[in-house]
Structure 1
């Protein structure tokens, strides 16, 4: 489709404004992390890395990072197992209710986080509390896994739909049993999709705050919750800016890798 010069200019301006709305606030957070003024005055009166050393020595922030890492790894592990199994069932088999299963798996990521959080909190209080299991890291992992499964499922099922099942059938015709065919044929074909889905799942879990608020309980504080609790404290504002800047920079890595892997997977499927 050929666009006129004025249309191309209008689209570029609209795209530039859209990117500015998204990325200028993130850039301001990064700039304010080097601002020597506690009140984040603008423009910055100077530059300093003092708050970075203060943030590094902040025990609460370090503990929150570790809790977020554990929750992210746990949720990603659950999502990889369940999301992959469901993807294989949907993509490789025909059964009654297959479309319903796909809808139910994808639904949690479309629901408002507060709805999911309230539902999980109610379920945990009703089912787990009588058994002596309170809200904590385990319930956070379960809560995060509900939406992390979706990204793994979507990545793997898309890859499987672009890959013929005849490869596994050919391997089994040549004498390979089911597990051997999976290891030698199927897994190499879906490996990049699994890795991309795992990276996206970890990134989603690491940044999650709404569902975490309803499932963490009083003794568990992830990094997003720590930022939320400290951002209104004047003495902690510079440290929060540093932690937020680090969180933004670290989030870029899994998203970039997942995007590259997804692109490579799409390229491979066309060869």
Structure 2
């Protein structure tokens, strides 16, 4: 499509303003983490890495980071197993209610986080507490898995739609059983989609705060929750800026890797 010069200028201006609205606040957070003053003065009088060292020495921040990593890895593992199984069922088999199942799987990521958090909190209080299981790491993992499953499901379904069934049929004609076909044929073709879905699921879980607030017990504090709880403490402001900046930088890695993997062809090469 050929656009006129004014149209191109308008589109580029709109895109530039959109990117500025998204990324300038993140840049300010990064600069705030290097500000030698405790107050958010602007422009900063200089640059320092002292607050980064202080953040690393902060026991609460380190504990919250480890909690986020544990919850993210566990939720990603659950999402990979359940999301892949549901994707195979929906894409490879015809059964009554298939579209309803697909809709039910995707719905949690479209719901507001506070709605999901309240619903899960009510369900856990009603079902688990009478059994002696209170809010804690287990409920956080279950809560995160509800929306992490969606990204794995979408990645695997998209890849399965592009895979011809003739490869698997040929392997079965040669005598390979179901699990051998999956391990030797299907899994290598799905590997990049699974890795991309897992990375996105981990990034979503690592950054989640709303659902975590409603599903975590008093002894469980993830890194985003730690940031939120310490934002109003003036003495912690520089350390909070450092942790927030580190969280942004760490989130870029799995998202970029997932984007690169998602653009792979089924055979692993580039299009």
Structure 1 residue 88: Cα displacement: 0.4
Q: Give the aligned partner of residue 53 of structure 1.
A: 53
TM-score normalised to structure 1 length: 0.98
Per-residue deviation at 1:165?
Answer: 1.5
- Unpaired runs of at least 5, structure 2: none
Matched with 1:254 is 254
Matches within 5 A, 1:84-163: 84-163=84-163
Q: What residue number does 2:164 align with?
A: 164
Distance 1:181 1:248, change over 3 A: same
Q: Residue in 1 aligned with 2:195?
A: 195
Q: After superposition, what is the alpha-carbon deviation per residue over 1:36-67, rounded to whole angstroms, capped at 9, x for unaligned? A: 11011000011111101100000000000000
1:264 aligns to what SS in structure 2? Answer: coil
Q: Matched residue pairs, number?
A: 271
Distance 2:185 2:46 in 1: 58
2:43 is matched with 43
Over residues 106-133 of structure 1, what are the superposed CA-to-partner deviations in whole Å (9 max), with x where a residue is unaligned?
A: 0000000000000000000000000000
In structure 1, the partner of 2:186 is 186
Give, in whole Å, the separation in 2 of the partners of 1:270 and 1:228.
41
Structure 1: which 5+ residue stretches go unaligned? none
Offset, 1:104: 0.2
Separation in structure 2 between the aligned mates of residue 217 and residue 265 of structure 1, nearest angstrom: 43
Q: Which residue of 2 aligns with 1:243?
A: 243
- Superposition TM-score, scaled by structure 2 size: 0.98
Q: Could you tell me how far apart the structure 1 residues matched to 2:268 and 2:101 are?
A: 28
Q: Do the aligned residues in 1 keep the contact of 2:71 with 2:140 (CA within 8 Å)?
A: yes
Alignment check: 8 A CA contact 1:149 1:201 kept: yes
- Dislocated runs of 4+, deviation >4 Å: 266-271
Alignment check: 8 A CA contact 1:162 1:269 kept = no
- For the pair 1:228 / 2:259, whether they are aligned, the reply is no
Deviations 1:164-186 (A, max 9, x none): 12211110000100000000000
SS in 1 for 2:67: helix
Asked if the contact 2:139–2:216 (Cα under 8 Å) also holds between the matched residues in 1, the reply is yes
Does the 8 Å contact 1:92/1:165 carry over to 2?
Answer: no
* 2:192 alignment partner, SS class: helix
Query: Quick one: distance in 1 between partners of 2:32 and 2:267?
Result: 40
Q: Separation in 1 of the partners of 2:213 and 2:61?
A: 17
- Cα distance in 2 for partners of 1:55, 1:178 equals 51
- Tell me the distance in 2 between the aligned counterparts of 1:260 and 1:156: 15
Hey, what does 2:219 align to over in structure 1?
219
Quick check: 2:189–2:268 contact (8 Å CA) kept in 1?
Answer: no
1:23 lines up with 2:29 in the alignment: no
Corresponding residue number in structure 2 for 1:2: 2
Cα distance, 1:266–1:13 mapped onto 2, change above 3 Å: farther
Instruction: Note if contact 2:264-2:270 (Cα within 8 Å) is conserved in structure 1.
Output: no
- CA gap of 1:269–1:107, structure 2 versus 1, over 3 A, is farther
Inter-partner Cα distance in structure 2 for 1:106 and 1:269: 29
* CA–CA separation in structure 2 for the residues paired with 1:252 and 1:267: 26
| Aligned position for 2:82 | 82
